[in-house]
Chain A
Amino acid sequence: MDPLKIHFEVDGEDFSSAGEASVEMKKKLRQLGIPADVIRRCSIAMYEGEINMVIHAHGGTADVEVYPDRIVIILEDHGPGIPDIDLAMQEGYSTANDRIHNMGFGAGMGLPNMKRYTEDMTVESTVGVGTKVTMTVKL
């Protein structure tokens, strides 16, 4: 069976509206009758990804695929890439600047939260080309 697919463009310029794709996804998953806990985990994981794309990569795309047994979220950007993925995955490690900190972000918890809330997460990144994060949450 083909999955239900939802596509979002994440605007990299407008920091204050970051999160709109996640909020929209949450509404759509609610309409589909997905369990609340699954929706919460998907939404938080996607929001963290969205924020990362806004902070580091001037935006990107988010694709959500809803299968009968799982939800897959694919985040893709053409930002600077992540030189050391293991280091980026460590709680507390961040390259965000003071402006980002003042907005309440840059705690180095984004990628760890995404991993925490999903059953499977893979990060593919090439410096100078971009980053692709694929997350799976089981239903």
Chain B
Amino acid sequence: MTASEVASLLSLKSICVPAPEREVLGGYTGDLLSWVMGRAKPDDAWITIMSNQNIAAVAMLTDVSMVILAENVAPDAGVAELCEAKSINLFSSELPAYELCVKLEKLI
């Protein structure tokens, strides 16, 4: 399933979607960035409440296919532009991370 399909089925709000056709094969949730770096797999959807600029670098380096900001967290200033430049799909949702994980699990 592609990132844009996941976004549509989970009713995510698009912040920037430079690579809508990226395949989503799994999911990971976490806010400690080193933990994410050590555990997230390529092509995961990464669900987090961390909103600073470092999420763009972590998303790019781990090769996740999309980042979902849970609980209506808004990205810090400049993060959307950074994600766009690094070809990172960035979305937000009003749902908590747990509920997003449960819903994602049913999709993929």
Contact = CB atoms under 8 A, between A and B. Distances in A.
Q: Tell whether A and B belong to one assembly.
A: yes
Interface of A: 16-20, 22-23, 26, 36, 40, 43-44, 47-48, 51, 103-105, 107-110, 112-113, 116
Given A22-B61, A40-B62, A40-B63, A48 B34 contact: yes
B54 A19 contact: yes
Interface string B60-77: 111100000000000000
Contacts of A104: 31-33, 50, 52, 54-55
Given A104-B32, A105-B33, A113 B53 contact: no
B50 A36 contact: no
B61 A17 contact: no
B63 to A, nearest CB: 6
B35 A107 contact: yes
Interface in B56-108: 57-58, 60-63, 78, 86
A20 B78 CA distance: 15
Contact of B37 (A17, A36, A48, A108): A48
* Interface bin, chain B: 20 to 34
B50 A26 contact: no
Contacts of A47: 37, 57-58, 61
A116 to B, nearest CB: 6
B20 interface: no
Given A40-B42, A40-B63, A107 B34 contact: yes
Contacts of B33: 51, 103-105, 107
A113 B61 contact: no
Contact of B60 (A26, A51, A112): A26
B88 to A, nearest CB: 11
A18 B60 CA distance: 13
Contacts of A17: 53
15 contacts: A19-B57, A22-B61, A36-B63, A40-B61, A44-B38, A44-B61, A44-B62, A51-B33, A51-B34, A104-B50, A105-B32, A107-B33, A109-B34, A110-B34, A113-B38
